[in-house]
Amino acid sequence: MTPQPLLSVRGLVKSFGGLMATNHLDFDLRAGEIHGVIGPNGAGKTTFVSQLQGQLMPDAGAIVLDGRDVTFEPAHVRARLGIARSFQITSLVPSFTVLANVMLAVQGGQGHSFRPWKRAWTDERLSGPAHVALATVGLTHRALTPVADLAHGECRQLELAMALAMKPRLLLLDEPMAGVGRQDGVAMTDMIARLKGVTTIVLIEHDMDAVFRLADRISVLVAGRVIRTGTPAEVRADPEVRAAYLGHSH
Amino acid sequence: MIEQTLNGVQLGVMLFLMASGLTLVFGIMNFINLAHGSLYMAGAFTAAWIQNISGSFLLAIPAAILLTAALGVVFEVGLFRRFYARNHLDQVLVTFGIVLVANEATRMIFGPVPLRMPLPPLLAGSVEILPGLPYPTFRLVVLGVGLAVAGLLWVIVMRTRIGMWVRAGSSNRPIAAAMGVDVDRVFAALFAVGAALAGLAGLMAGPILAVQVGMGEPILILALVVTVIGGIGSIKGAFVAALMVGLVDTFGRVLLPPALGSMVIFLLMALILAFRPKGLFPVHG
Amino acid sequence: MAEFDPHLPRPVERLAPIVVVGLLAAVPPLAQVLGDPFLIKVATRVIVFAIAAVALNLVLGFAGMVSLLQAGLFGVGGYVVAIAAHHIFEAEPIGIAGLAWGGSADLALTLPLAAVVAGLMALVTGMVSLRTSGPYFLMITLAFDQMLYYGAVALQKYGGDDGLQILTPLTLAGWDVSNRWRFFYFALALLAVTLLVVGRLVGSRFGIVLRAAAENERRVAVSGIPPYPYRLAAFVVSGAVAGLAGGLLAAGQQFVSPADMHWVRSGDFVVMAVLGGLSTVWGPVVGAAAFVVLELLLSSWTQHWQLVFGLIIVAVVLSLRGGLADLVHLLGRSGGAR
């Protein structure tokens, strides 16, 4: 635990009405690791990610990214600081092509610039990185297809490509395997495995096999708080985790 | 000063009558009705016309209210109903088309010259509300009727079953639909009530302002301002904002130079929205 | 809806603006041949409205925001040109912030001024109205439009309700533009520039963000881009160009009136953009032509032409069940597959 964490969360609280979706949650993320977050349905995993990314603002607590307090920074500022996210429910620009969606993300990664006069589609600084990101996820052949015509699995791949295109320091993957067929799921797992060391990843996933295969460390979320953090082997062996979670489902 | 305050409150209750229909229709049906001012105009013209042919002011009142309510139902069932699920641009276009039709049809029927709407002797005079301060009787009546209707609406919305449904509907549409109410009929009825209130406002404006083509638009704009300031869908917001707008507009016109006086309402709106983009009493999260 | 895509400027889309401008350019010679100079006047009106409608479409079609302020900004531009000329005629300087300006009848000065003043007005109103979205935005822009309208009506010094006549001959950097042909081609050149500028904007990084935010605001924010400054910039550009168009109208008819600022005129601009198709830069030019021709035909047929026009609008909106996107789609398809 010697290196300073890339991301540090302390005492995070978020309630909806009476429901404590996040309940004094503490969380540390080491640079370069793939950190799995698991927990039963309703444990508050997506709420947690949304607060990391800035779509939801916490009621209390602190989120520190690389020494900088980002607790109440809006989403676009955090994105600028290097936090990227793929959504559990696909969130794309439907009338744009695959390439245009990735170009949008590239643009976000490059910071503010209107460049009102330059044609975007001939701008190598946009299309170059976009093509690289598409190649990484294996979507090159679909670059000029409108998003509306994509299959579900391809949308997930595109989500990932967009997140990568921002060259993030921290990648939040919210159920990248959700609703993906078995074969695509395997491909997605391989793809995430290849990202190990390239960027730091928080991986929320229901597919336990994938999480235990990919993650360096795993945090178990129950009722809005982390009950255990450790290596996959430690978590698998933990009696409290087994009781709260692993023993019942799966 | 007291006189201006009364004028302001009177404008306020008129605006409330207009804005309550707008805000409910928007809040529940998610429908922007730019033709709401046309219903106001219809109320005024019907009243003036019935009074001119029958000579009876008393007869003009129910005629105007019933006709605008009926018009409301006709438009709701025949046309607007199809647009609840469409985007706001379509809604704007269709109601914009109706505004053009309504204005031109009124001009065809009644001609370009404003109609006169004389008051019966009982209401034509003025009462001394304070020693040495006379105030037109009819304006007092307008004020009373407006406040009474506002009170009645309040009771209905806050205390009755249908009111509960309306409140649920304006904050959460799916829940309202799931409450097992005949949605089509309630929507039509709601639209009719909104139309009748606009008609009532028009009928009461008749003797004070000129009954002419296009009269619905200035009040529509003010009612939109009220709706936006109050928070779209909120009856309470509409009431508070209507009084606020009524008073600010009245005093603005008296105290400020004309160019600024006519703009002061919009500056108020800009100021409020700069701090509360969803109005004073936001309903939709 | 692939026609929205910035990477695929189909051949028809690249040629269409040139064809549209070319067809308009043929009007004066045609009018000469037919011996009907009235045609030039009609086509000038088309061009002026087209400039404002093309500008509106940047906000309406590409940024996805229904603004009803366009007529107000259009009128502001008209008043700038008319008031500057008025002060020349009256030989009475305008005092602004302690400085005296004699006014000007030179369009090379007053048209840019019209654009700047309208653009500033758009900046101020946009800063407030763009904090909101959807129905709030629509109603607020409508209210601001009426604010400007009442403001113009209250300008007693400049004719109030009756409007303001331009009694000085206008020039363009010393060049007389009272000649109809000259004025026509000058206006057409401005339309061509507007099409070029809006086309470039829409295809740029700026345009990508603007269009993406219209469809999925959250996606744009998550990509690290706040939509607000982009929308505001689009709103200001649109407003400035509207002011330019309004200045042109005033110069062309030597007259400006609050009537052109009324919200019904804003509705007309929306109708033009919608009729022409919201997904192309040049579509609103076609829409403006349809509007002006319809106005002309209907009003020669009946004085109650607005009744028929209103019914046509209702019928058009009603007949396209999936909303006006259908129309865009149909037009897009008949425009030729890529």
Q: What ipTM was estimated for this complex?
A: 0.85
Contact C216 A94 (CB under 8 A): yes
pLDDT, mean of residues A217-235: 90
pLDDT at A78 > cutoff 70: yes
Name the residue range of residue B49's domain: 2-117+135-275
- CB proximity B259 to C under 8 Å: yes
Residue C288 is predicted with a pLDDT of: 92
For residue B187, being part of any structural domain is answered with yes
Touching B: C residues 216-245, CB under 8 Å: none
Contact A97 C5 (CB under 8 A): yes
- CB proximity B105 to C under 8 Å: yes
Name the residue range of residue C46's domain: 2-334
pLDDT, mean of residues A76-86: 85
Say which of B79, B232, B266 has its CB closest to residue C147.
B266
The percentage of chain B sitting over the pLDDT mark of 70, rounded to a whole number, equals 94
Q: Which of A118-122, A243-247, B159-163 has the lowest mean pLDDT?
A: A243-247
Say which of B96, B263, B279 has its CB closest to residue C151.
B263
Name the residue range of residue A141's domain: 91-165
Q: How far is C198 from chain A (nearest CA, A)?
A: 9
Burial environment of residue C95 by CB neighbours within 10 A (0 to 12, 13 to 18, 19 or more): exposed
List the CATH number of the domain containing B48. Answer: 1.10.3470
Chains B and C touch (3+ CB pairs under 8 A): yes
Residues of C in contact with A114 (CB under 8 A): 204-206, 230, 233
Identify the chains in contact with C, defined as 3+ C-beta pairs within 8 A.
A, B
Residue B194 is predicted with a pLDDT of: 92
Residue C322 is predicted with a pLDDT of: 53
Q: How many domains does chain A have?
A: 1
pLDDT at B239 > cutoff 70: yes
Residue B200 is predicted with a pLDDT of: 93
Per DSSP, what are the bridge partners of residue A212?
none
List the CATH number of the domain containing C44. Answer: 1.10.3470
Say which of A75, A107, A148 has its CB closest to residue C222.
A75
Q: What is the pTM of this model?
A: 0.86
Q: How many domains does chain C have?
A: 1
DSSP B275: H
For residue B128, being part of any structural domain is answered with no
Residues of A in contact with C2 (CB under 8 A): 95, 97, 146
For residue A106, being part of any structural domain is answered with yes
A207-211, B62-66, C162-166 — which one is most confidently predicted on average? B62-66
pLDDT in tens, chain C (338 residues): 334 454 455 566 678 888 889 999 888 889 888 988 889 999 999 999 999 999 999 999 899 999 999 999 999 999 999 998 888 787 777 777 667 777 787 888 899 999 999 999 999 999 989 988 888 898 889 989 988 998 898 888 888 888 888 888 888 877 787 778 889 999 999 999 999 999 889 888 888 899 999 988 888 888 888 899 999 999 999 999 999 999 999 998 989 999 999 988 999 999 999 888 788 888 899 999 999 999 899 888 888 888 998 998 898 888 875 555 555 555 555 443 33
pLDDT tens profile A14-57:
988 778 889 899 999 999 899 999 988 888 888 999 899 888 89
User: Which residue of chain B is at minimal alpha-carbon distance from C147?
Assistant: B263
Question: What are the DSSP calls for chain A, one per residue?
Answer: --SPPSEEEEEEEEEETTEEEEEEEEEEE-TT-EEEEE--TTSSHHHHHHHHHTSS--SEEEEEETTEE-TT--HHHHHHHTEEEE-SS----TTSBHHHHHHHHHHHHT-----TTS-GGG-HHHHHHHHHHHHHHT-GGGTTSBGGG--HHHHHHHHHHHHHHT--SEEEEE-TTTT--HHHHHHHHHHHHHTBTTBEEEEE-S-HHHHHHH-SEEEEEETTEEEEEE-HHHHHH-HHHIIIIITT--
Identify the chains in contact with B, defined as 3+ C-beta pairs within 8 A.
C
Residues with Cβ within 8 Å of residue A16, at least 6 apart in sequence: none
User: Alpha helices of chain C — where are they, by DSSP H?
Assistant: 11-25, 27-34, 38-57, 70-90, 107-129, 134-153, 180-203, 205-215, 217-222, 227-253, 263-276, 283-301, 305-319, 325-334
Residue B269 is predicted with a pLDDT of: 87
| Token digits of residue A215 | 């993650």
Nearest 5 degrees, angle CA B239-CA B245-CA B246?
Answer: 90
Chains A and C touch (3+ CB pairs under 8 A): yes
Per DSSP, what are the bridge partners of residue C256?
C164
d(CA A36, CA A40): 13
pLDDT at B285 > cutoff 50: no
Residue C97 is predicted with a pLDDT of: 67
pLDDT at A1 > cutoff 70: no
- CB proximity C160 to B under 8 Å: no
For residue A155, being part of any structural domain is answered with yes
Token pair 């190990």 in the structure block, residue: A196
pLDDT tens profile B81-92:
888 888 888 899
pLDDT at A248 > cutoff 60: no
For residue B129, being part of any structural domain is answered with no
For residue B9, being part of any structural domain is answered with yes
For residue B60, being part of any structural domain is answered with yes
Interface of A with C (CB under 8 A): 53, 55, 74-76, 79-80, 84-85, 91-97, 99-101, 103-105, 107-109, 111-121, 123, 126, 144, 146, 148, 162, 166
Residue A249 is predicted with a pLDDT of: 47
Over the range C320-338, which residues count as b (16 or more CB within 10 Å of their CB) and which as e?
Answer: beebbbebbbebbeebeee
User: Which residue of chain C is at minimal alpha-carbon distance from A54?
Assistant: C222
User: Which residue of chain A is at minimal alpha-carbon distance from C227?
Assistant: A76
Touching C: B residues 13-32, CB under 8 Å: 26, 32
Token pair 């009722």 in the structure block, residue: A223
pLDDT at A162 > cutoff 70: yes
Residue B236 is predicted with a pLDDT of: 86
> Which of C204, C208, C223 to mutate to test binding with chain A, by most A CBs within 10 Å of its CB?
C223
Contact C222 A53 (CB under 8 A): yes
Contact B89 C135 (CB under 8 A): no
For residue A126, being part of any structural domain is answered with yes
For residue B123, being part of any structural domain is answered with no
* Cα distances (Å, whole numbers) of residue B52 to A241, B45, B65, B115, B119: 84, 10, 17, 9, 11
A103-117, A119-133, A204-218 — which one is most confidently predicted on average? A204-218
| Predicted confidence band of residue B180 (pLDDT cuts 50, 70, 90) | low
Q: How many domains does chain B have?
A: 1
Query: Closest by alpha carbon to C278, among C133, C69, C62, C68?
Result: C62
Residue C338 is predicted with a pLDDT of: 30
Residue A79 is predicted with a pLDDT of: 85
| Predicted confidence band of residue B176 (pLDDT cuts 50, 70, 90) | low
Identify the chains in contact with A, defined as 3+ C-beta pairs within 8 A.
C
